[in-house]
Amino acid sequence: MSKPRYWLIVPAAGSGQRMKADCPKQYLRLGQRFILDITLSCLLDNAAFAGCVVATGPNDQWWPETEASKDRRITTCIGGAERAESVLAALDALSDRANDDDWVLVHDAARPCLHADDLAHLLTELKNHPVGGLLATPVADTLKRTGPGSHEVEATVDRRDLWRALTPQMFRFLALKQALESAINSGYPVTDESSAIEFAGQIPCIVEGRPDNIKVTVPADLALAGFILERK
């Protein structure tokens, strides 16, 4: 049997409404580069991927302006309204190239601060794992739970066994494809790839990552990401 290969999927079809910008957040710039270009570079330049699929929006007018659009390692597909649909579209685009037991890494388009050491650690820790897993960091803040539609505190939540899910998330090609199809067809809310794998009855493994692997979601995150990248 051939050695499993590694593929990269980056869902980039979202509009990033919380950023309140005139373009999707992955096309905002840090320095002179698009966030999406920085994100793709930190993965493709630090691991041996067989290929990469970026799922873009149906009306994406910014992709042709990126560095990545000229990278022969990268192909594109049209993503869906939800993240899970975009990842599934990218998996479909890989169907004629990827083997069932190949590894697929899914990474957020607007998460440009991934450290090369975290990527290497994830690949090393999971290469022989039967399911796969994800980067995550322990929850450090005190957590409060409120009632439905209320701002009044009902309880303080024990954070000792809680983790903040990061990306990349890494699973076998066929297992991830089947898990996403099953979850979507069942109407299950898929918030990340791990949640789909969990819905399929499998148990992902957490690999501890750096807390500065942030996702740019709101305007304040843009300055923080710039600061982190400058220090890298």
What integer is the mean pLDDT of 76-90? Answer: 97
pLDDT on residue 1: 57
CA 230 from chain centre, in angstroms, equals 22
Rounded Cα gap, residues 87 and 83, in angstroms: 6
Indicate yes or no: pTM above 0.85: yes
In this structure, what DSSP letter does residue 40 have?
H
Rounded Cα gap, residues 98 and 6, in angstroms: 9
Question: Mean pLDDT in the chain?
Answer: 95
**Contact yes or no for 30/113 (Cβ under 8 A):** no
CA angle 24, 26, 27 (to 5 degrees): 70
| CATH placement of domain 6-230 | 3.90.550.10
Instruction: Kindly state the helix (H) or strand (E) to which residue 117 belongs, with its residue range.
Output: helix 116-126
Q: What percentage of the chain exceeds 90 in pLDDT? A: 92
| pLDDT tens, residue by residue, 95-104 | 999 999 999 9
| pLDDT tens, residue by residue, 114-146 | 999 999 999 999 999 999 999 999 999 999 999
